[in-house]
């Protein structure tokens, strides 16, 4: 690679062992490429410099936050630059306008913590919120646990500052609550997975802080009863702030990992919360009654925020429990809420067909589940089976009226299925949009589009 501009010399990650850690994200089997350069930008000017240089030398650039992507979208590219924006982490909070103007490197949970002093909240809450960054959240239109009530990242991004390939700085959107001036280019960049430009600042909408959430935990003997519970919650006048599903095998996996008090032979568990200001207690009692009427065999209601948090601990243990079980592929499909039960059944049929174990859990309130297939990485038949199961789950979601990704994005792993969902003409239009912003094709190439 030609030598980098002098300004960037002390932004380079020189230690090869440390640099290698920037080569991978959280996608299964991720392996760092042999040769790539890591630049940790400290401000917009650094990003401008990198993108000017990259365009001049036709070098691919991968924007990166905390690299918690599960899709390969944040993995370094052979011969390319991994442009990390974690260190651009300024925060300005305007409590009158109820906005935060932030750098892309701000960690989601840190922003939430800072907002408590203003009695304000930024709702998007991916399960990775302790480490993932706002830049990564914007680029993936991240969801999370509370979307059932509060929506996704796109619902909170009012404006962006983006550096385009070649180094031009572009501003989209606005700071004000309303505005319809021209096309919504902010919306275009949200969820674009770093393929159009690098976000260097964002204007985020804030809301008044809700009450501390209270929790209901409902245990069901069968999957069918669990789905009746989900349906009963859809009829509530006050939408829960969280509805999480664990199927039977997920519960067994968590109990294997540690004793979180779930009956190991349960057919399903629903965790439900309310944070409605002044009414959380009334709501959880109402949800508990509805879940019991729907057929729950056991319902526990937390009386205070500490107890509410304890009830959620089993859900939090899910990711470490799955990690502890070894090699796996994790899906992220979204179906109509009324078809969730069909999706769970189909996932287990697919797993059985390939001789694999699977668990199915996720954000039931949105119809967004993360089926997970386990395989023995030393057994070629199991590796092939897991790959096939991944694709068959996408097709199952389509058959049920759903989509191939609810919140994690397309990345490289799901790029082969893009055309199957959008059709050739729509993919061609989307490629043309990319070419408008990135005519040289240097921004995160190979992501979204195969």
* Binding footprint of ligand FAD on the chain (CB under 6 A): 25-26, 62-70, 73-74, 85, 104, 126-128, 132-133, 135-137, 139-140, 142-144, 193-194, 198-199, 319, 407-408, 444, 447
434: nearest Cα among 415, 417, 407 = 415
Please state the closest distance from residue 251 (CB atom) to ligand FAD, in A: 18
Q: DSSP code of 74?
A: T
Nearer to ligand FAD, 128 or 274 (CB): 128
Nearer to ligand FAD, 135 or 367 (CB): 135
Number of residues in the chain: 450
d(CA 113, CA 282): 27
**Residue whose tokens read 């404006």:** 159
Nearest-CB residue for ligand FAD:
136
Nearer to ligand FAD, 87 or 422 (CB): 87
Residue 134 in tokens? 């706002």
Please state the closest distance from residue 431 (CB atom) to ligand FAD, in A: 17
Nearer to ligand FAD, 192 or 299 (CB): 192
Please state the closest distance from residue 147 (CB atom) to ligand FAD, in A: 8
Nearer to ligand FAD, 264 or 436 (CB): 436
Asked whether 269 and 312 are in contact (CB, 8 A), the reply is no
Say how many C-beta atoms besides its own lie within 10 A of residue 329's C-beta: 22
Please state the closest distance from residue 415 (CB atom) to ligand FAD, in A: 12
DSSP for 283-349? HHHHHHHHHHHHT-SEEEE-SSHHHHHHHHHHHHTHHHHHHHT--EEE--EE--GGGHHHHHHHHHH
Please state the closest distance from residue 191 (CB atom) to ligand FAD, in A: 9
Query: Is the sign of the CA dihedral 93, 98, 101, 103 positive or negative?
Result: positive
Please state the closest distance from residue 380 (CB atom) to ligand FAD, in A: 26
Nearer to ligand FAD, 28 or 385 (CB): 28
388: nearest Cα among 424, 353, 432 = 353
Please state the closest distance from residue 178 (CB atom) to ligand FAD, in A: 26
d(CA 71, CA 161): 25
Nearer to ligand FAD, 193 or 331 (CB): 193
């Amino acid at each position: 690679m030609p030598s980098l501009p002098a300004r960037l010399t002390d932004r380079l990650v020189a230690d090869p062992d440390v640099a290698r850690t920037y080569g991978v994200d959280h996608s299964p089997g991720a392996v760092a490429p042999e040769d790539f350069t890591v630049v940790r930008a400290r401000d917009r000017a650094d990003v401008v410099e990198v993108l000017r240089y990259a365009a001049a030398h036709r070098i691919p650039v991968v924007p990166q936050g905390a690299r918690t992507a599960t899709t390969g979208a944040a993995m370094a590219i052979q011969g390319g630059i991994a442009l990390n924006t974690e260190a651009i982490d300024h925060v300005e909070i305007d409590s009158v306008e109820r906005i935060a103007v932030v750098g892309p490197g701000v960690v989601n949970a840190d922003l939430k913590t800072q907002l408590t002093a203003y009695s304000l909240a930024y709702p998007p809450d991916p399960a990775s919120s302790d480490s993932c960054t706002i830049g990564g959240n914007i680029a993936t239109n991240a969801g999370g646990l509370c979307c059932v009530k509060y929506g996704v990242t796109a619902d909170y991004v009012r404006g962006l500052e983006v550096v385009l390939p070649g180094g031009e700085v572009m501003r989209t959107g606005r700071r004000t609550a309303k505005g319809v001036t021209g096309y919504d280019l902010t919306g275009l960049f949200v969820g674009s997975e770093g393929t159009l430009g690098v976000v260097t600042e964002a204007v985020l909408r804030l809301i008044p802080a809700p009450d501390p959430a209270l929790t209901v935990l409902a245990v069901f003997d069968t999957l069918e009863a669990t789905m009746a519970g989900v349906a009963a919650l859809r009829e509530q006048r006050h939408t829960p702030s969280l509805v999480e599903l664990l199927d039977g095998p997920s519960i067994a996996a968590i109990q294997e990992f540690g004793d979180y008090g779930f009956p190991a032979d349960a057919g399903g568990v629903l965790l439900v919360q309310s944070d409605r200001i002044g009414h959380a207690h009334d709501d959880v009692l109402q949800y508990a009654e509805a879940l019991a009427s729907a057929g729950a065999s056991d319902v526990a209601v937390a009386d205070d925020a500490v107890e509410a948090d304890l009830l959620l601990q089993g859900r939090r243990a899910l990711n470490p429990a799955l990690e502890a079980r070894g090699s796996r592929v994790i899906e992220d499909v979204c179906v109509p809420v009324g078809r969730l039960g069909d999706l769970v059944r189909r996932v287990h049929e697919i797993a059985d067909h390939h001789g694999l174990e699977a668990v199915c859990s996720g954000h039931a309130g949105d119809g967004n589940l993360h089926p997970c297939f386990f395989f023995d990485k030393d057994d070629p038949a199991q590796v092939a089976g897991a790959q096939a199961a991944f694709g068959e789950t996408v097709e199952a979601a389509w058959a049920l009226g759903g989509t191939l990704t609810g919140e994690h994005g397309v990345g490289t792993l799901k790029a082969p299925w893009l055309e199957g969902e959008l059709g050739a003409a729509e993919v061609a239009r989307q490629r043309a949009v990319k070419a408008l912003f990135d005519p040289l094709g240097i921004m995160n190439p190979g992501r979204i589009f195969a």
